Amino acid sequence: MMNVYNSLTRRVEELKPLEGNEIRLYTCGPTVYNFAHIGNFRAYAFEDILRRVVQFNGMKIRQVMNLTDVDDKTIRGANAAGVALTDYTKTYKDAFFADLKKLNIQPAEVYPAATDHIPEMIALVQKLMDKGVAYQSEDGSVYFKVREFPGYGKLAHIDFDNQRTGLRCAADEYDKENVGDFALWKAWEESDGPVGWDSPWGRGRPGWHIECSAMSMKYLGETFDLHTGGIDNLFPHHENEIAQAEAATGKEFVRTWMHCAHLRVNGEKMSKSAGNFFTLRDLLEKGYTGREIRYVLINAHYRTGLNFAFDALEDARKSLSRIDACVDRLARVAKTSSSGDSASRLPRSEFSAPLAKFTEAVNDDLNIPKAFASLFELVRMCNGMEMDAEAANEALGVFKRMDEVLGVIFFENEKKEVEVPAEVQSLLDQRAEARKAKNWAESDRLRDEIAALGWAVKDSRDGQSVAKKG
């Protein structure tokens, strides 16, 4: 049973599909005007863990992540660079997908771009106009009338009824009737340059919030299971999404809302505007790997703040090499005799205890730090055990099962990047023969020859292994 914290009810609740065996998930995606920073990737890594845990529990997932490719920032960037909006955003869309791969984040099922869904957004705004919950102001923009939607504030748990008078007074200097009203459609302005679409309210472009309501309902239906984002999305973005969708359909929009806490630097939210950010590329250039960065991003509970520090990346490197050493040994031992495919067999009892704890942890509101603790329990258990091929295979099966959620372990066939050249492999084979014949002088000579080619040989009770030096 998978339990998660629902921001809407402020309770931990069971997550089970509204229909069939599939969880329908909408995640707010990137605004493609720049490279995403690792704060953004904390949110995407959390959503990746979420989708992996859903699948770990035998449910299917249908995830939709939007790409915001039209807003103030993208328009400003494109016009400043003197290029078409689509050309400008393409660079950052491509970079985003490359970065997701580096972090081993599973792709969503659909990545709708806002500019491909303008008719759907116009139709939704029209529906809200027809229902009398939206109005066009003198400047030509269309706004949502917040006071016409009684549930406004239910996600943020704010009682707007008691604040309305104040809001109305403050609204005098705006084109809006109420300062809380938000734009559904923004009238074209000089600074928009060539960007704009025709609509029943004149030339303009959609507001950010309507994007997500229109695209989520198009791909997931009017009511769906789960909606996520960083905590900064909760208000007003997600509150507004609920208002738009529920005012238009009269139905519940989303059952469960989940939000991750921020990645911080020295106690402050990592953000473009604060200028305190690292992109994934910045960290890769410093020599850290996508796997190490993923480890740091997921190894803090998603609802607690995560303070970014380079020490954490160093610790991740050490932890991962402990896992690698254990899994490499198991893989070597597993090959020592053909004991058949154990993946389908239930793990032996020693290994089922850490797996049970792991399962309990991930199902308890995605407690990944606790899940890692069970994984290291398994590492310690294996390191302290004499292994035969069968046991090694079974332990490997448990690591593989855990890695369906974590996505940080390299199993043998995934180590393409450290493929051993044929020349080195041939020397290794000769050395194995020499050692079998107890010809230690020849074994040492071959070790030096291998070292001269840039590879270091290590001997252990399970045989020899090789790693690239430096």
Identified binder of ligand AMP from the candidate list 6, 7, 31, 115, rule CB under 6 A: 31
245 lines the binding site for Zn ion (CB under 5 A): no
230 lines the binding site for ligand AMP (CB under 6 A): yes
Residue 174 in tokens: 């705006």
Q: How many CB atoms lie within 10 A of CB 173?
A: 7
CB of 93 or CB of 401, closer to ligand AMP: 93
Sheet strand arrangement including 268-269: 268-269, 263-265, 306-307
* CB of residue 159 to Zn ion, shortest distance in Å: 24
* CB of residue 124 to ligand AMP, shortest distance in Å: 20
Q: How many CB atoms lie within 10 A of CB 366?
A: 26
What is the Cα Rg of the chain in Å?
A: 27
- Pairwise CA distance, residues 216 & 112, whole Å: 9
232 lines the binding site for ligand AMP (CB under 6 A): yes
366 lines the binding site for Zn ion (CB under 5 A): no
Q: Taking CB under 5 A as the rule, which mask of x and - marks residues 165-204 in contact with Zn ion?
A: ----------------------------------------
CB of 9 or CB of 304, closer to ligand AMP: 304
Orientation of helix 38-56 relative to helix 349-363, angle to 10°: 120
210 lines the binding site for Zn ion (CB under 5 A): no
* CB of residue 112 to ligand AMP, shortest distance in Å: 15
270 binds, among Zn ion, ligand AMP, none (CB under 5 to 8 A by kind): ligand AMP
Q: 31, 72 in Cβ contact below 8 A?
A: no
212 binds, among Zn ion, ligand AMP, none (CB under 5 to 8 A by kind): Zn ion
SS3 114: helix
Tokens 């303070």 locate to 307
Identified binder of ligand AMP from the candidate list 43, 298, 334, 391, rule CB under 6 A: 43
- Pairwise CA distance, residues 244 & 214, whole Å: 9
* CB of residue 257 to ligand AMP, shortest distance in Å: 12
40 binds, among Zn ion, ligand AMP, none (CB under 5 to 8 A by kind): ligand AMP
Task: Give the interface size with ligand AMP as a residue count (CB under 6 A).
Answer: 17
CB of 75 or CB of 260, closer to ligand AMP: 260
* CB of residue 28 to Zn ion, shortest distance in Å: 3
269 binds, among ligand AMP, Zn ion, none (CB under 5 to 8 A by kind): ligand AMP
77 lines the binding site for ligand AMP (CB under 6 A): no
* CB of residue 40 to ligand AMP, shortest distance in Å: 4
Burial of 111 (0-12, 13-18, 19+ CB in 10 A): middle
- Pairwise CA distance, residues 100 & 290, whole Å: 9
43 binds, among ligand AMP, Zn ion, none (CB under 5 to 8 A by kind): ligand AMP
CB of 28 or CB of 36, closer to Zn ion: 28
Residue 22 in tokens: 């599939």
**Tell me, what DSSP letter sits at residue 337?**
S
Applying CB under 6 A, the span of 40-48, 315-323, 357-365, 437-445 interacting with ligand AMP comes to 40-48
**For residue 423, which of 465, 468, 453 has the smallest C-alpha distance?**
453
74 lines the binding site for ligand AMP (CB under 6 A): no
CB of 31 or CB of 443, closer to ligand AMP: 31
CB of 261 or CB of 293, closer to Zn ion: 261
SS3 229: strand
262 lines the binding site for ligand AMP (CB under 6 A): yes
**For residue 27, which of 90, 119, 109, 97 has the smallest C-alpha distance?**
109
28 lines the binding site for ligand AMP (CB under 6 A): yes
271 lines the binding site for ligand AMP (CB under 6 A): yes
* CB of residue 117 to ligand AMP, shortest distance in Å: 17
- Pairwise CA distance, residues 53 & 359, whole Å: 9
By Cβ distance, which residue is nearest to ligand AMP? 230
* CB of residue 31 to ligand AMP, shortest distance in Å: 4
236 lines the binding site for ligand AMP (CB under 6 A): no
CB of 149 or CB of 278, closer to ligand AMP: 278
Question: In sequence order, what are the beta bridge partners of 63?
Answer: 25
Question: Which residues of the chain form contacts with ligand AMP (CB under 6 A)?
Answer: 28, 30-31, 39-40, 42-43, 229-230, 232-233, 260, 262-263, 269-271
